Structure 1
Amino acid sequence: MEKKKIVIIGAGFSSLSASCYLAKMGYDVTILEKNKHVGGRAQQLHKDGFVFDMGPTFYWMPDVFDKFFNDFGKTTNQYYQITKLDPGYEVYAGVMNSICIAANFDTIVKTFEDKEKGSGKKLKSFIADAEENYHLAIKDLVYQPGENIFEIITPKTALKVGAFFSNIKSQVAKYIKHPELKQILEFPVLFLGAKPETTPGFYNFMNYADLKLGTWHPNKGMHQVAVGMANLAEELGVEILCEENITNINLQDNKVTSVATLNDTYTCDVLLSGADYHFTETLLPKKYRQYSEKYWNSKTFAPSALLFYVAFDKKIANVSHHTLFFDTDFSEHAKSIYDTLTWPEKPLFYASFPSITDDYFAPKGKEAGTFLIPIAPGIEDTPEIREHYFNIIIKRLEKITNQSIAPFVTFKESYCVNDFKEQFNSYKGNAYGLANTLLQTHILRPKLKSKKISNLYFTGQLTVPGPGVPPAIISGEIVSELIYKNK
């Protein structure tokens, strides 16, 4: 019997994940990727002996990656190696005033206690609740397809109802008073794409992932994870074709028959899009689109980002592999992203210096730095604006870490809203997808299966479970099971 053909648009984490599960289920799977590389946003820039992860840099929730490879009788270290970072990251609150988050939880408890008497015990209590939520989320909730509310209303979640209707900001405030410690507990929800005050308290499970499971580094960077997943996919029989830009989805009645690229036409029994959800629907006649422009415009999107990839002609002192610069007002910056939709006056920013850990990223005695400012999606993006913000963060970096840096910049590249739109057809140039607010959780997110086209499915950060690399991998597994169930 001939295998059913599945075409997948895009080779990001969710698509690579789905392709593996679908191939294992016996489907004939082809991935069509617009760009030259696999991994979507997890691409790399190579220049003059320097290497930069251009997209995600944090490797959190290692158990999700382990589960993925284990499902195929494999382990992660057959495809890439990971190292636990110590410190996991460092947070600056002012000039030469930083807190290091150690790899060991007991050390973190002591760090909190040293800053605020009594907070060590309170942190343990907070993380115990976060751990409960993590196991509940990972075992019972995030692997659900979001088809009906009773997937997540269970006897266990009923006991946690208060956590869904409270928010991270108020929850953290019940335990911790010190402003710098509060910021450390509030920052992980930025990975979910929303403000602490609009993110349900249940999502404190990100704090367990952060402080207990730790921060890891895949040797040679996050792109290696995507390469490992692509290698597994090909071992399972998946065909991955890069530089295949989708131009049309061909329909007969309410069914996809094939997709056209600039090079060829590919017939399929099922079409799965791991590309931007909104973009995919623009390839359909209006009557077959589930969500209107008004719908997308009304949603709370996770931030976009202004990124700089910078080569330094010396090693940078007083920083860690992951360093957060929270020396300005967290809530004011958040307002610029979610409320006023403007460029921030005094931006928080994040820096990654992977060459501290991994020689692959820079020549000996030099440093590779990636800098990220979270910004509102869809705002104006010009070379002049980029340059203005580069100067701001380099001056701040010099002042806060007490060293001369600007004269040692040998080159820089930038990436922002216009690039996300052009390269990934990303709605408003968002970087992370649709924010995980209460009104955009589970069944309130765009559906994995089209309601109007019988054999069209979606996966990735705009659908369930949400933004981030581990959720993208999970999304691929969920949608593959849905396709199999509906065969």
Structure 2
Amino acid sequence: MKKTINIIGSGFSSLAASCYLANAGYKVTIFEKNKTIGGRARQLKKDGFVFDIGPTWYWMPDVFERFFSDFKRKPSDYYILEKLNPAYSVYYGKDDFITIEDTLEKIVKAFEKEEPGSSIKLNKFIKDAKDNYDVAIKDLVYNPGVSPFELITPTTIKKINQFFSTIKRDVRKEFKNERLIKILEFPVLFLGAKPSDTPSFYSFMNYADFGLGTFHPKKGMYQVILAMESLAKELGVNIKTESSIDNIIVENREAKGVISNGKTYFSDVVVSGADYHHTESLLEKPYRQYSEKYWGKKTFAPSSLLFYVGFNKKLKNVNHHTLFFDVDFEAHAHEIYDSPKWPENPLFYASFPSKTDSSSAPEGKEAGIFLIPLAPGLEDTQDLRDMYFEKIISRFENLTSQNVKNDIIFKESFCINDFINDYNSYKGNAYGMANTLLQTAFLRPKLKSKKVKNLFFTGQLTVPGPGVPPSLISGKLVASLITKYHN
């Protein structure tokens, strides 16, 4: 008889884990609390508009290819991928922006135009970043975070200084132009920490940005979730939606199953891809590995205030991805990490998928997603949401030289309270736990419970960390541990 596994949650890491485990011969059931699968990567459909609620950036295509190739599949078996050109643009002031195109050669020219002599420095910086990418993505991040010795290889020993320097220090040592510095510091924000707190080794994110490029799955990021669902079902995974978990059954310090909507589902193994802190709250206190004090001391990635906006016309002077860095980055970062409060002058990001994807909006209209990074755990009210929308949309109009307020058909918002209600997210964080030096690899919460046999975790609060590609990898890592410890 097949051994059974119950998986909590249906985000990228849970779906990935389900595929690997089903492929290894387990009978796998996924329990998802919401009506649709995908965890944070759900969709909003309204009046002919389609929005990705969660992730909108498709970086590191090789990680997706590696995932599907593990099952003798390709991403193209499930969705169409388009490389964006331009990848994104960055606004610094009214009608003042830099465009990042789709090849390193073009990006180097843009840098040289902005700061003479910077092209040589950028080529060297990206070459070093590629070296780090090769070490990290092809090797280090596929380790399960069990031991510090996973980080020690002949290559990493040569790079040891990069774990004790920071991205901010390295970038500013080579580049003096603040506009270019902001572009080079931007990718590590996906890791959830300030550039001044992110080890230099993570420059591999710059290679992901400039070297590999930015992609868009036709019909949106949710197509990746649908692809993984399709693969999981091909492999025999059973998925139950609207099935929140009441608690995890533990007998004699061993996970025996879950209770969902009052009904008991026994299994040989329990895996949680839900919020780690929330998952431990489903256990009696003696079985929890990490205290409230532990979580309270950790550096969490930001939360977000998101708006999904339907515009009654096509917008000008923006690209599919557009960043608005016209205010003080350091001040906003301080208000996220050091002195948590609602930011006075927030940076923000906007995505207009209908610029490249006609399925995102009715003809002649534009779909807009606006994101303001916030400290987790802040007060979240409708009045605050409305005030911040007015702040950024007024700046947006000024910076891009167009009037749009009167062309808004609707706007929906999503913020801290929604992250808590929909995802049981700790303090309403959006991206998990930041990848700082003391929260890297074996220093992150463990994939395998130390207190409950046959209980495992996956996702952005454990290894390797926040982001979609790391979540795919996390699913593979936990499946490997289970097959190692449970067979």
Letter in 2 for 1:109: V
Q: Secondary structure at the match of 2:449?
A: coil
Whether the aligned pair in 2 keeps the contact of 1:460 and 1:466 (CA below 8 Å) is yes
In the TM superposition, residue 264 of structure 1 has moved relative to its aligned partner by: 2.4
Partner of 1:385: 384
Q: Supply the distance in 1 between the matched residues of 2:453 and 2:188 (Cα, whole angstroms).
A: 35
Report the counterpart of residue 163 of structure 2 in structure 1: 164
Look up the equivalent residue of 1:141 and give its one-letter code: L
The 5-angstrom pairing of residues 75-224 of structure 1 reads 75-224=74-223
Which position in structure 2 is the counterpart of 1:355?
A: 354
Contact map agreement 1:85 1:215 (CA 8 A) in 2? yes
Matches within 5 A, 1:328-339: 328-339=327-338
Name structure 2 gaps, 5 residues minimum. none
Q: CA deviation at 1:256?
A: 1.3
- What is the aligned partner in structure 1 of residue 246 from structure 2? 247
SS for the counterpart of 1:373 is: strand
State how far apart, in whole Å, the 2-side matches of 1:261 and 1:480 are: 23
Q: Does residue 21 in structure 1 map to residue 26 in structure 2?
A: no
> Is residue 244–residue 263 contact of structure 1 (8 Å, CA) maintained in 2?
no
Deviation string for 1:103-149 (max 9, x for gaps)? Answer: 01101000000000100110000000000000000122000000000
Equivalent residue pairs, number: 486
The aligned amino acid for 1:303 is: P
1:389-408 CA-to-partner distances (Å, cap 9, x unmatched) read 00001100000000111111
After TM superposition, give the deviation of residue 375 of structure 1 in Å. Answer: 0.2
Q: Is the 8 A contact 1:22 1:480 kept in 2?
A: yes
Tell me the secondary structure at the aligned position of residue 225 of structure 2: helix
What is the CA–CA distance in structure 1 between the aligned matches of 2:422 and 2:38, rounded to whole Å?
13
Please report the RMSD computed on the Cα atoms of aligned residues, expressed in angstroms: 0.6
Residue 99 of structure 1: SS of its match in structure 2?
A: strand
- 1:478 matched to 2:473? The reply is no
Residue 148 of structure 2 aligns with an amino acid whose one-letter code is I
What corresponds to 1:372 in structure 2? Answer: 371
Q: State the alpha-carbon separation in 2 of the partners of residues 232 and 264 from structure 1.
A: 27
Q: Which residue of 2 aligns with 1:316?
A: 315
Gaps of 5+ in 1: none
1:435 maps to 2:462? no
SS at match of 1:243: coil
Q: Which amino acid aligns with 1:325?
A: F
Q: Residue 319 of structure 1 aligns to which amino acid in structure 2?
A: V
- Distance of 2:224 and 2:262 partners within structure 1: 28
The whole-number CA distance in structure 2 between the counterparts of 1:477 and 1:38 is: 19
DSSP 3-state at the match of 2:270: strand
TM norm structure 1: 0.99
Q: Deviations over 1:397-454 (max 9, x none)?
A: 0000001111111100000000000000000000000000000001110000000001
Whole-Å Cα distance in 2 between the matches of residues 283 and 31 of structure 1? Answer: 17
The residue that corresponds to 2:460 in the other structure is: 461
Q: Distance in 2 between matches of 1:263 and 1:124?
A: 58
Is the contact made by 2:144 and 2:447 (CA closer than 8 Å) also made in structure 1? Answer: yes
Q: Pick which of 171-180 and 9-18 moved more.
A: 171-180
| Contact map agreement 2:245 2:259 (CA 8 A) in 1 | yes
1:36: how far off?
1.1
Runs of 4+ in 1 over 3 A off after TM superposition: none
Contact 1:194–1:437 (CA under 8 A) maintained in structure 2 = yes
Determine the C-alpha separation between the residues in 2 that align with 1:150 and 1:243: 41
2:273 matched residue in structure 1: 274
Q: Is the 8 A contact 2:91 2:324 kept in 1?
A: yes
- CA separation in 1, counterparts of 2:465 and 2:96? 34
Paired AA for residue 5 in structure 1: T
CA distance in 1, matches of 2:33, 2:128: 43
What is the deviation of 1:263?
Answer: 5.2
Task: Give 2:425's aligned amino acid.
Answer: S
1:418 equivalent to 2:408? Answer no
